A and B are shown apart, each in its own frame.
Chain A
Amino acid sequence: MSGPLRIVHYVNQFFGGIGGEDQAHVGVSVRAGAVGPGRVLEKALGDDARVEATLVCGDNFASENEADAARAIGAELDRLKPDVLVAGPAFGSGRYGLACALACKVAQGRGIPAITAMHPENPGASNARRGIYIVPTGASTTSMQAALDALAPLARRLGRGQTLGPSEAEGYMRRGTRRVHDRGRPGYQRALDMLLDKLHGRPYRSEVPYAPPERVSPAPPIADLARARIAMVTTGGLVRKGNPDRQVSANAVRYHRHTVAELESLSPAEWEAYHAGYFNHIVNSNPNYILPLSFLRDLERQGKVGRVHEHIYALPGVSTPVAVSAGHGRSIAADLKAGGVDGALLVAT
């Protein structure tokens, strides 16, 4: 290897020594050498590595002007050309965690390996852990030394162009990626060993990790339905008759928003289902079975529901990856919120 490993370190305004929340608006600036936690990082890295420069950016600036921050970080990286970018650790700080993830993505986009560290529940980790290397830390700065001790050897190897092994062996957070490799023994032998371990009550580790579904805090109750704006969403693949919007019948890449402001009911002459996961003909005779507009209009007339929202949302909820579905859900929810909706009925076939 030629020469010492050259590292650029990204920190926020606090760790960069500019100031606290009152300085969170400052843009990207550069300091020569290591600053603050960078000195601890340099020690953890050992002799043949040095922090060449430190990029400092205010957390508010990074989160409010993401594109500008990314551009400025990118420009500095183009100039400095480090072997590896280290960001953080951000611990439990949400904006800092997101900024560290951003810095890593900018570096990786330029072919520069990058790694950061933060608490597993930091939004930066939940948003970006699939794309970048993140070493888990405690929630507060008291775990600084441990975090950098864990991060440094990984940063060294990344900087030398090496590939990291699986997360469970290397200690970074699972990225949800799988790489083909030889486990040495065929699957049936490993499966039988696992079964024997299970039957004997010995510990064993499944090769198929279980990913528990995301938990969402329940929305608070609506105080008065008679004053509430209620929307309807369906995963039953509701389309306008003849499918003029060309919705797919499975693996939804988008959702469709339709206006029902003028409608009393969903007529089978105007609406139908296009969904590869169930027998659509019954819905085609009465589309209100998967989007109960006729019922809500009656309740609206009776004053039991304040207002039926003018837009409905539809997609075929079949063979769609969870991550894609979550994206559709977030986007629909944001649209409902922006539309002043108080509650929504989601009909799932």
Chain B
Amino acid sequence: MISAIYNFALTTGANRVIRGARIEHVCGDPTLSPEKDYAFGMRIVTTALQTLTIAVPGPTLFDPMASGKEAVHAS
């Protein structure tokens, strides 16, 4: 699940949660140039696709903007 309000997604039990940009533009950012907007959206979408190839123990957050690849698990 790609969502800007990712805490809701985690606490309500979504297992693979990808941090989206904003509620009004989850997969991208219109304040960026078209090229950067596209690259940002693509990063979110590819992160989401990658999570489908990873086993998760339960609700887990993946942040496309985080530098490392560490996933954060909901407690």
B-contacting residues of A (Cβ < 8 Å)? 213-216, 218-223, 225, 228, 230, 236, 278-280, 282-283, 285-286, 288-290, 292, 295-296, 298-299, 304-305, 342-343, 345-349
Contact = CB atoms under 8 A, between A and B. Distances in A.
A305 B48 CA distance: 12
A278 B58 CA distance: 28
14 contacts: A215-B13, A216-B13, A219-B15, A230-B49, A283-B24, A286-B28, A290-B27, A292-B45, A299-B49, A345-B2, A346-B1, A347-B1, A347-B26, A348-B20
Given A219-B15, A292-B45, A349 B57 contact: no
B29 to A, nearest CB: 9
B66 interface: no
Interface residues of B, number: 35
A171 to B, nearest CB: 29
A221 B15 CA distance: 12
A57 B53 CA distance: 44
A328 to B, nearest CB: 14
Given A213-B11, A298-B42, A346-B2, A289 B49 contact: no
A292 B25 CA distance: 11
Given A289-B41, A292-B41, A346-B1, A221 B27 contact: no
A349 B23 CA distance: 5
Interface in B5-49: 5, 9, 11-16, 20, 23-28, 30, 41-42, 44-46, 48-49
A126 to B, nearest CB: 15
A207 B2 CA distance: 35
Contact of B3 (A214, A225, A228, A347): A347
Given A218-B58, A225-B52, A347 B20 contact: yes
B57 to A, nearest CB: 7
